[in-house]
Amino acid sequence: MKKVILITGSTDGIGKLAAIKLASDGHSIYLHGRSSEKLQTVIEEVKTQSGNQNINGFVADLSSFKAVKKMAIEIKETLTQLDILINNAGVFYGKKLTNENGLDLRFVVNYLSPYLLTKELLPLLKKSEEARIINLSSAAQSPVSFDALKGSTALSENATYAQSKLALTQWSFTLAQEEKDLVVIAVNPGSLLNTNMVKVAYGKFWSGADKGGNILYDLAVSEQYKDKSGIYFDNDQGRIGQAHTDAYNSELNYSLIQLTESILNNY
């Protein structure tokens, strides 16, 4: 059965590679990017490489909650259902350290905006018979500072990146518990893959970007994962793995979600 798939951050890197592979199977693909010009270029590229004309896209800067909400409205006006949401967009470095609300860019793009977008799109996902949400975590995970999350303390890029990825994983586990009819999977797509974000942050890579694109494809559509909700897939090991211990602390997860809702309700 052909799926309707939305992939954030898919004009480059592993999101783009996954989009091409999924499009080649004939699925309806919706890309996302910050630049309308680049997005249109990649849409045409995916069409050409996949032979699939059912490729469209949405534009939004995920550092802005207003932009995320606007895109969510556009998505709901365009689609009647959504089968697969891949929250792939992420940031390590940026021109600015904070967004327009004074919140750390990594927490916003890597966690808060995916949370907000997914919440807005849940009605569309619930219309699918086999909906999946794939959230891009990382091998880098460290305990979340609530002060840093709400913008009252500034930390290093490395610290907030690792914390944002653990926050995303904690939320993934919580969402899997709350929405029993959805499959929610957190994934470390592979450490230091050959992507622009990694090259800018570290100046080196360990593995090709295909490693990440391939696992996103598998988690999105493989029958092997259709009942694997609430897992953390560690692609460094090529199997279901163990996330940071905080992700299994239900009380801590509850507190994180409460704070997240409080932050988002302010904007």
Catalytically active residues are 137, 161, 165
Q: Note the helical H segments in 26-64.
A: 36-50
Which of 226, 119, 235, 136 has its CA nearest to residue 183?
226
Q: Is 58 helix (H, G, I), strand (E, B) or coil?
A: strand
Q: What does the alpha-carbon distance between residue 105 and residue 97 come to, in Å, rounded to a whole number?
A: 6
Helix 250-265 vs helix 157-178: angle between axes, to the nearest 10 degrees?
Answer: 100
Q: In what order do the strands lie in the sheet with 4-7?
A: 55-59, 28-33, 4-7, 84-87, 132-136, 183-188, 231-234, 239-240
Place of tokens 């919580």: 174
CA angle 23-189-183, nearest 5°? 70
Which of 53, 40, 52 has its CA nearest to residue 10?
40
Partners of 258 in beta bridges: none
Burial of 48 (0-12, 13-18, 19+ CB in 10 A): exposed
| CB of 14 closer than 8 Å to CB of 194 | no
Instruction: Say which amino acid occupies 187.
Output: V
